[in-house]
């Protein structure tokens, strides 16, 4: 149950940069329906972060690339008008190597459209999600510093 969940839902978002541009999709489903946002979605049980982010990138944009690390973590809580938690996602933004891109750009899955935006354009537009604007502000302040993926997944057997 994604609306009014009992717990936060773990998700990933794919951050793919090309120079001073970032790849965004127009969301087809809530939250932030119709807004430009990062490709992404819920992590499936047992899935590594890099696999989840790569799957979401391919499903929504038609592109494949090599993930390199966790760029940012966002605790995204959306309240309804009665101040109840309608959505609660813990989103790990996974940075991809912009030089490793393969495939043909095309919107699919949950994405209505897909395109590249300059970072300046992201900050100027009203139809870009607040969370993407926060990410771009972070990138401008700290650059593309990340935690390598080999240090974040821990899969064991009981």
Show the domains of the chain with their CATH numbers: 9-147 (3.90.79.10)
| 3-class SS of residue 137 | helix
In the structure, what pLDDT confidence band is assigned to residue 70 with cuts at 50, 70 and 90?
very high
- pLDDT of the residue at 26: 97
Residue 91 backbone phi and psi in degrees, to 5: -110, 125
In the structure, what pLDDT confidence band is assigned to residue 150 with cuts at 50, 70 and 90?
confident
- Written as six digits, the tokens of 17 are 């940069």
In the structure, what pLDDT confidence band is assigned to residue 140 with cuts at 50, 70 and 90?
very high
C-alpha 152/C-alpha 70 separation (Å) is 8
Q: What is the pTM of this model?
A: 0.93
C-alpha 108/C-alpha 115 separation (Å) is 12
């Amino acid at each position: 149950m994604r609306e009014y969940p009992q717990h936060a839902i773990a998700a990933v978002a794919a951050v793919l940069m090309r120079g001073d541009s970032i790849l965004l999709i127009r969301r087809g489903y809530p939250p932030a329906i119709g807004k430009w946002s990062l490709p992404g979605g819920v992590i499936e049980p047992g899935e590594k972060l890099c696999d989840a982010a790569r799957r979401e990138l391919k499903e929504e944009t038609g592109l494949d690339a090599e993930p390199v690390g966790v760029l940012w973590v966002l605790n995204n809580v959306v309240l309804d008008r009665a101040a109840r938690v309608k959505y609660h996602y813990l989103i790990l933004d996974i940075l991809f190597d912009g030089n490793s891109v393969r495939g043909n750009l095309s919107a699919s899955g949950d994405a209505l459209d897909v395109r590249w935006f300059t970072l300046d354009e992201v900050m100027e537009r009203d139809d870009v999600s607040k969370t993407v604007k926060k990410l771009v502000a972070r990138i401008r302040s700290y650059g593309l510093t990340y935690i390598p993926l080999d240090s974040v997944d821990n899969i064991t057997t009981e």
